[in-house]
Structure 1
């Protein structure tokens, strides 16, 4: 999975002490961004939170934009690979896998909800972060499309669907539900959120629901 944020221009520490300092700055930036928002966050707040000097900040970052890229990079693995419970062979039906994937995604989104709000905020005003937002959506969609294509090959779902477009539509639905629930504050119980989105995936793909004949 390629990086969602363009971190090629960011400086890499050459010593263990430098790595610790940079990590402290990134962790502090996340705290400040989530507390104050990107627009209101100040570099002096970040360095104070990290207990570092301003000079240390400029050793690794040029501005707020660069350190936000580093923060997003740090959260990438949790969002794209949130981890799923191990399912036994009896439990690993396609619908059960979709359900477990949806739950893992929602839980990861909840853990990173404040950062997701920052990304939405900055994407609205900065083309570079708008591209980060687009790449994030595409990463999820293309990964899920592989799963849909595999089910099509097995004849378990509608073979006339374009796997990538279907995945983009369904993944976008799940993403917006997560945003409304964990960022905007809609009160939806986790179990209801998971079951509703899973049922919509099953219906949209014309998959036989569990416990029923096709």
Structure 2
């Protein structure tokens, strides 16, 4: 990890470089990205880059960590004030989907880390799961959910959120019509529709031992689409 900047200007410059790297890695991928592309986008010289990062690989790793910190912060702030575990899950997922819509590079950067920096990939997911595990364990102790293995449940929940976000936020041409929910060629919508989030939470409610949430009436929007 690079040394932290000592001045406000240094903090701002480093943030600009990370923001530029986010776009460059998203647009070109790791192997086609370059330090010169990053500095050109940030509007700084290459010499300035090396004051903050030692290499393209170095800024890639720090970008993964930066995105991880920001998405966890967004989810934590989104779930703040929730009065139950299920409320916290819904609010946290909604915040995750908003963050993904604003920072679509999250998916490409994290997935590239599988081959570029496996350790960074593992750390990214592990940090997210750690918060889930604690929350699920507390909810089970309070009788809000079944007494399930919180580690297994946390990884499963993260997978649900990631796939829903990929399908509805990222896939396809954003200018095209969304198409039906079951259409594998349908375009993404840029956001997760309310009825999709409702169905997702019905599924999660049943999985966590809240069948009262899973067995309620289906959303009107979904019924209309199926008619």
State if a TM-score over 0.5 links the two structures.
Answer: yes
- One of 45, 49, 67 as aligned partner of 2:41: 49
Q: How does 1:69-148 map to 2 (within 5 A)?
A: 69-82=61-74, 83-84=77-78, 87=81, 92-123=83-114, 125-126=115-116, 129-148=117-136
Contact kept, 8 Å, 2:203 with 2:214, in 1: the verdict is no
1:79 deviates by 0.6
1:66 deviates by 0.9
Q: How many aligned positions are there?
A: 198
Q: Does 1:206 align with 2:218?
A: no
Gaps of 5+ in 1: 1-6
- One of 160, 177, 188 as aligned partner of 1:173: 160
Contact kept, 8 Å, 1:106 with 1:178, in 2: the verdict is yes
Distance in 2 (alpha carbons) for counterparts of 1:96 and 1:190: 17
1:211 deviates by 10
Q: Pick 1 or 2: higher relative contact order, CA cutoff 8 A, min separation 6.
A: 1
Gaps of 5+ in 2: 173-186, 217-227
Specify the alignment match of 1:19 in structure 2.
11
Structure 1 residues 51, 211: CA separation in 2 closer, same or farther (over 3 Å shift)?
closer
1:210 deviates by 4.5
Distance in 1 (alpha carbons) for counterparts of 2:42 and 2:85: 45
What is the DSSP-based 3-state SS (H/G/I as helix, E as strand, rest coil) of the residue aligned with 2:212? coil
